[in-house]
Amino acid sequence: MGQAVRRIDEILCRAGLVVSAVALVALMALTGANVVMRLAGLPLGAVYELAGYCGALAVAFALAETQRSGGNITVELFTVRLPERARSAMLLGNAVLFALFFAVIAYQVGCRGLTVRSTGEVSETLKMIYHPFIFCVAGGFALLSLSLLSSALRAVLPAPVSR
């Protein structure tokens, strides 16, 4: 069971990382093209708007993999002095608490996306619908929440035995 949870978590987080990488490449391509076109005297319109959407996607989908791989900042000033059981309980509690917190954020961002979609709101410069980007950011937070729950399960389930 623990191995399956680890594998599913890894696959989902890596998929989010791929989406994040594509968004980051698109962001760099847009910015580079705008710089070149500005030098030619023909700046691209709405690059700032599109760059904002790409940046939001890049960050939102990288959150889960960053959490899974431990790429975030942890302060162990007090926890290193705790007994192993207390430290494990604290890690478990944090994972569950933050999983719930980010699930609420995902829900609220998703609700905002539904509101934007139902009102027919469009972006200011390009006049394009942008609620799909909002839903993608909500998905990134949901993925982070699932990854945190997976961390909580890993803390509870026994580690796999190596042969």
Q: How confident is the model at residue 56 (pLDDT cuts 50, 70, 90)?
A: very high
The answer to whether 56 touches 138, Cβ cutoff 8 Å, is: no
* pTM for the whole structure: 0.87
Q: How confident is the model at residue 162 (pLDDT cuts 50, 70, 90)?
A: low
Helix residue ranges per DSSP H, the chain: 2-39, 47-69, 84-119, 131-156
- pLDDT exceeds 90 at position 100: yes
Average pLDDT over all residues of the chain: 90
Contacts of 101 (CB under 8 A, 6+ apart): none
Is residue 129 classed as helix, strand or coil in its secondary structure?
strand
Tell me the one-letter amino acid at 88: S
Q: How confident is the model at residue 6 (pLDDT cuts 50, 70, 90)?
A: confident
